[in-house]
Structure 1
Amino acid sequence: MGIVLGPNRYGKAEVRLVRVDRADAVHHALTDLNVSVSLSGDLAATHLRGDNTNVLPTDTMRAIVYSFAREEPVAEIEAFALRLARHFTSAYEPVDTARVRIHAYPWERIAGAEGPHPHAWTRAAGTRYAGAVSGPDGAVQVVSGVEDLTVLKSTGSAFHGFLTDRYTTLQPTDDRILATAVTARWRHTEAGSADWTGSYTRARDTLLRVFAETPSLALQQSLYAMGEAVLADQEALAEVRLALPNKHHFEVDLTPYGQDNPGVVYYAADRPYGLIEGTALRTGTPPAHADLPW
């Protein structure tokens, strides 16, 4: 039985990049990113013989990320990811596929006596995400998303009618707290001059609205309703993938203290937790690229 080299890639992970745009001497703009690049292609020689002829140093990848960020503002992280991915596949012949992942950490201006402060910020909720892949045929695909978008509603959620056996102790309920930290990714049908920020804002707002407004019999039902609504709202999106950890809240037993607890005091458990994952897919659209960095 023979042994061969299987699929492989390499790159520079988590290049931390903060860009301060000082075009306005007083009102600065802040961009805070974490960028990861990985390349694949004609790289067998370095694995099998230690021949690095076709290897672009990962330090060079880091330098390119910083240099591109210096050349122009990073207004749209999807556009920045596309620019980087296309560069690596076009500038270096041994590279046939480049994947770029970007996390953008949101900052909000601190409120001052005369309005938002021009150059002081506080970290905001939720992390914006973008990923891009450039393949050997020049085709590109883009995925956007959000992470750590923590949401909770104090009613409008139930969980009953589930399977039971001798190990089941969970009691059914018609009313419970439902909380989760949303991780969502949505794939664009085309990569081009899209309004990336507008699309992101609409998708994020839709996720929040549907979570809040949809009566839920299970977190799975909420997940699909959220993904379905994002696709219904934006025809330029092909699929939505969601991961929703169930942030359990349990009523505290106050009877030892002579008190009742009609859904007032809860214990917020951090682990273990249920993890619900699923996809809403628009039929008739081309499949995702195998190397698309979800």
Structure 2
Amino acid sequence: MTPILGANQYGKAESRVVRIVRDTARHEIRDLNVSTSLRGDFAAAHITGDQSQVLPTDTQKNTAFAYAKIHGVDSIEDYAIALGGRLLEATPAADQAQVRVEEYAWDRLGDHSFVRRGGAVHTAVVTVTRAGVHVISGVRDLVVLNSTDSEFKGFLKDEFTTLAEADDRILATSLVARWRHTTAEGVDWAGVDWNASYADALDILLRTFAGTYSRALQETLYAMGTALLESRPDLAEVRFSAPNKHHFLVDFSGFGVGGLTNDGEVFIAADRPYGLIEAEVTRADAPPAGDAWLAVPGFC
């Protein structure tokens, strides 16, 4: 038997790139976590140890830092497109360069003072090929909660089912959502306002979550994905990964306090185990994804 080398890629993971813009006395900050990877004909490196076609991961890291200065970071998508293009140009044996970026938000305290904002993280995964560009924007750690207008009942039961049906419950999740921008021929990536696109997509998702009566988290995710695709013809699909952050009503009946009732007011927030709901909503006429989703962590 002769072993055959299968799919492979290599790169530099999680370079922490912080770009301060000092053009005026009022500074700006972009705080990024950047991972790069190259795919292509690197068989010789694996089989014979020949590194002549391998751009070192250290060079990939250095390019990520250099491009934060050379190209700038007006948006993480635009930065990732430029960085991916440069890595592909510098590596003849590669046919794809993928750049994954997370951006951490800071709130302004003054002209040159900031406080790190917790919560949601803006993400982007850009795959640059010899034939074109694929862009996936998204958000993770988006913690949302509806304190009512959610039920869960009528579910399948067997001898191991103990969960009680709920007519009114808390619905909460720490959402991961990623949406793929269309790869239709003629798309002018340079003309996209990525920051406005992200803000609008996030607003649609949040408004839909808040405005949807939910019979299950699955129904809410589908409603959010549908609203996003109906409002944004430039998007081809959206994927969700949503851990159900369970809140269980505290039973006061055993407490030594007479007449103490709990009318949906006090809950235990349980962190594990948790239900994990994942779904994809795709436009019927969407251009094919190709390799856009390769190496995107998890379901989405």
TM-score class, shorter-chain normalisation, is over 0.9
Cα deviation 1:69-127 (Å, max 9, x = unaligned): 112430111011111111122222111111110000111113xxxxxx22222222310
Q: State the 4+ residue runs in structure 1 displaced beyond 3 angstroms.
A: 291-294
The one-letter amino acid paired with 1:274 is G
In the alignment, does 2:136 pair up with 1:135? no
Secondary structure of the equivalent of 1:208?
helix
Structure 1 unmatched runs, 5+:
111-116
Q: List aligned pairs for 1:1-294, cutoff 5 A.
A: 1-25=1-25, 27-110=26-109, 117-124=110-117, 125-137=119-131, 139-190=132-183, 192=189, 193-257=191-255, 258=257, 259-292=260-293, 293-294=295-296
Mapped partners of 1:48, 1:291: distance in 2: 27
Q: Provide the aligned C-alpha RMSD in A.
A: 1.2
The one-letter amino acid paired with 1:217 is R
Q: What is the deviation of 1:162?
A: 0.2
Structure 2 unmatched runs, 5+:
none
Q: Given the superposition, is the C-alpha separation of residues 146 and 233 from structure 1 closer, same or farther in structure 2, using an over 3 Å criterion? A: same
Q: Which is further off, 227-236 or 258-267?
A: 258-267
Mapped partners of 1:51, 1:140: distance in 2: 29
Cα deviation 1:23-73 (Å, max 9, x = unaligned): 112x11010000000001121011011111111111000110111111243
The one-letter amino acid paired with 2:273 is P
Q: What is the deviation of 1:283?
A: 1.1
Q: What is the deviation of 1:291?
A: 4.6
Q: What is the deviation of 1:2?
A: 3.1
Mapped partners of 1:122, 1:262: distance in 2: 38
Secondary structure of the equivalent of 1:82?
helix
Aligned residues: 286
Residue of structure 2 equivalent to 1:113: none
Report the TM-score when normalising by structure 2.
Answer: 0.93
Secondary structure of the equivalent of 1:86?
helix
The one-letter amino acid paired with 1:102 is V
- Identity level (%): 48
Secondary structure of the equivalent of 1:226?
helix
Secondary structure of the equivalent of 2:205?
helix
Cα deviation 1:148-197 (Å, max 9, x = unaligned): 01011110000000000110000001100010011100000145121111
Secondary structure of the equivalent of 2:195?
helix
Mapped partners of 1:185, 1:70: distance in 2: 27
Report the TM-score when normalising by structure 1.
Answer: 0.94
Cα deviation 1:215-239 (Å, max 9, x = unaligned): 0000000000001111111100000
The one-letter amino acid paired with 2:238 is V
Residue of structure 2 equivalent to 1:114: none
